[in-house]
Chain A
């Protein structure tokens, strides 16, 4: 998967996770689900963006 495609994939995945049917499936634990998935999403973005940034910097050097 290309770098740009990954971000589109992540966007689509996140949109799915924060909509029906997942919200219905986790309806009994919604507060935990929201903040858990939200945190995880940010973590993934952070890791991938940081890795890419480091890689890019190395390449530049």
Chain B
């Protein structure tokens, strides 16, 4: 046993040491040699999670329910794996938006709602109070155990609470700069983490290896003892798998949303990259500190300790063995665990209370003299109030519950924030009404299922009358809400809390609309990594910023902030650029945000620095409109970007896979795009073609081709005897340029020539039957005359008049045959594609001279009406083929004879050729198909179906038109028009 004053002196000594350590760290920070800004101190500061609950409560829990205490450390270990995704995003948002508390964070997410922020603060204060009480209860209990007396302990507890409150004030509320990192405090917390870890390991080692024969020895003994079932989980043991899973979930949310964890992990984070090391260093710390929990718990039981007193095994074991030094060390370890939590938690809670409850009520009194000191003192009072709230809980309700039980109530309270915060980070539709309703529902369930039974147990509420009726009803029993039985109290509360929380949050978010401010904030949070669209304003002076800071922080601090800024940035007061002013304004905003909350800081800076209230209102409205427009524009832009990207890809695919060469050129005829097919056609790579003039790449194209800015189509022949059909389409853009499409028609040309030739041969074939008669008759006549001439004696040849007549006849017949054969030969020769100046009427004559020999022509009454036709640049072979096809068709239509009228005249700038017959005509039903390739009305084998199709192609190539009008039984009229210019 130790005397009370010794223990009290020890506490004072430890706190002084802590103060010196913190002072040292702050001094190093001031001279620019920070020893805090590194991942190791950051990880150790996160270990503020391990409180006196870990130090004493875990041993108590292990002694009563075995492994279940591990859930409190496995949950954070698992959650740490998500830090790279979740914590980094939260830190990023908090830093970008100058957020310093979890209530600010939730309020800012839902439209900078002060009301929601205030509500979250109230829930957090109520939820965390038991946890603060737990620490104070642990300190009071350990004091009792250590001193061995109960008299005066409550007063000592009161003094120690006050001391801790003062310590929290020294580190957290010496000045109004909560947005600044408290390097001294964090270093002290990191030091405390080492102290509690070392103390735990020393006690663990002492119990395991000094009092017992090692881990194996303790576990073997406990297995054989009455406490053997502590080594198992699940059915039939102290802890069901359901309770295990619930506790695991509770601890996962606690590590993220406990105000002190948010403070050290988010607000005090100096470098976001520290998270990647902390995500394994912090779980490693948890693993190490838990190694000896079970050995100490089992050791205590094996040494005769009672399960009910297991919370104090860490102290009672060394004291029972007479080892006072280890007992003192344990006390210091436990005290370190409790103080760290109390200081950081009260600081975090006080910042929440100040920002969300106090400042909104008083910030308009800024003109009051000494206003900064008022704020500072209020914050100090709030810190003390938070600490003493915990003390009241410890001495009123706390004594009825174990440390773990109290801690879990607070953990459960933190799950209330999980849906609104986590879902709100990824779901834009979550709104303020949904969040308020969800948090309210969660809080009511938590209060009713966990806190009300605690009050009942403590006698604050009596289970009589109205309360008895409610608590014992089937539906409203706090341990079996709505008749749900079979769950432990943690799982039961968690189930209903989360159910209603999610139900109202999601349901009302879907059913109600967001305000514009909410939409804007949702976008900022959900798309936190998107670049910030609105830069800070800089249209204010240094003096204006200084005045605002003075009003809220005091003249000295304001001057210190401004001077510090000028010194750090090596700039003079007189030479501040607008960028410097913008940065100073941001710094002022950060400092005020930390002290007063981001919402209030924004209002103050807007009020003070910019404009009058009315102007501010107008400006606010305009900014809102602009922000809305920007937000919408941004969304539309994103949509449009996606569509554009898709269209670009789609178009490129089409262009690249098109079987034609596609080139774009600018006004200077330089190539700006060159597709794959162009590479194949020309053998010039895209990279080589870029930025070169098209005429230098393809010299066979004349520069004149691109002189006129109009859509055109030309056919060009390359020196390599390739033919290209080139479509030239000018850009509508005023900057000029063309899209040029190259189609290699060399093969097509060859095929056309071959087809034309084949058609000629077909025509000759058709003519052969008729012409054979023409050749046969003179041949028969020649033959009979030759027979006659042979019968005349040779000596009388010169005397017979018959002889000379016969020779004359033979000669004329031979000439006729020769003409026919020559005509056929002329027609059959391979034609060229060249256009030359020709007489259309001569071409018609040539055609008729050939057709005339056809026997079918004998019954035809041919009429000609040929006007004065100028010479035209045409391909004579092709035009002759057209005439041949049309006349043969006319002959075929008049097998029994008829009239054929051919007219040719000039009309304006073109010539008109009409071929009219009196044949059987064409059925109306097939008129639409007559120019289709392979369509024929003639019997099978009589026609190829290509005649009219070829005619159509040839006339189109001469820029002309061909129209056929016909009625069944009324003959056919075919009219060709061609421009003389062609």
Give the B-binding residues of A (Cβ under 8 A). 3-4, 7-8, 10-11, 14-15, 18-20, 23-24, 27, 30-31, 34-35, 38-39, 41-42, 45-46, 49-50, 52-53
Contact = CB atoms under 8 A, between A and B. Distances in A.
A15 B245 CA distance: 9
Given A30-B67, A31-B219, A15 B78 contact: yes
Interface string B245-274: 100100000000000000000000000010
B148 interface: no
A19 B85 CA distance: 23
Contacts of B77: 14, 38, 41-42
A49 B67 contact: no
Interface in B204-223: 219
B78 A35 contact: no
Contact of B70 (A34, A46, A53): A34
B981 to A, nearest CB: 67
Given A19-B244, A45-B279, A11 B234 contact: no
A19 to B, nearest CB: 6
B650 interface: no
B858 interface: no
A4 to B, nearest CB: 5
Given A8-B85, A53-B273, 9 more contacts: A14-B78, A19-B245, A23-B244, A27-B233, A30-B67, A41-B283, A42-B287, A49-B279, A53-B276
A45 B78 contact: no
Given A20-B241, A38-B287, A27 B78 contact: no
B280 A31 contact: no
A41 B79 CA distance: 12
B280 A49 contact: yes
B82 A8 contact: yes
A35 B77 CA distance: 12
Of the listed residues B81, B233, B273, the one surrounded by the most CB atoms of chain A closer than 10 A to its CB is B81
Contacts of A24: 233-234, 241
A53 B273 CA distance: 8
28 contacts: A4-B84, A8-B82, A8-B85, A10-B81, A11-B79, A11-B81, A14-B81, A18-B74, A18-B248, A19-B248, A23-B244, A27-B233, A31-B231, A34-B74, A38-B74, A41-B283, A42-B77, A42-B280, A42-B287, A45-B80, A45-B81, A45-B279, A45-B283, A46-B284, A49-B84, A49-B276, A49-B277, A50-B276
Would you list the 8 A-B pairs with minimal beta carbon distance, nearest first?
A46-B280, A20-B241, A45-B280, A11-B81, A14-B78, A49-B276, A10-B81, A42-B283
Given A10-B81, A11-B79, A45-B81, A52 B276 contact: yes
A5 B244 CA distance: 26
Given A14-B77, A34-B70, A4 B279 contact: no
Nearest to B82: A11
Given A4-B84, A23-B244, A49-B277, A42 B284 contact: yes
B291 A35 contact: yes
B283 A31 contact: no
A11 B70 contact: no
B486 to A, nearest CB: 16
Interface of B: 67, 70, 74, 77-82, 84-85, 219, 231-234, 241, 244-245, 248, 273, 276-277, 279-280, 283-284, 287, 291, 294
Of the listed residues B84, B244, B273, B277, the one surrounded by the most CB atoms of chain A closer than 10 A to its CB is B84
A15 B232 CA distance: 19
Given A27-B234, A30-B233, A41-B77, A19 B82 contact: no
A3 B287 CA distance: 25
Contact of B233 (A15, A23, A41): A23
B81 A23 contact: no
A50 B79 CA distance: 18
A37 to B, nearest CB: 9
Contacts of A11: 78-79, 81-82
Contacts of B85: 4, 7-8
Contact of A23 (B80, B219, B234, B283): B234
B221 to A, nearest CB: 14
A24 B233 CA distance: 8
Contacts of A14: 77-78, 81
Contacts of A19: 241, 244-245, 248
A19 B81 CA distance: 17
A18 B249 CA distance: 11
Nearest to B248: A18
Nearest to B283: A42
B76 to A, nearest CB: 11
A10 B279 CA distance: 13
A20 B234 CA distance: 9
A30 to B, nearest CB: 6
A15 B248 CA distance: 9
Nearest to B71: A18
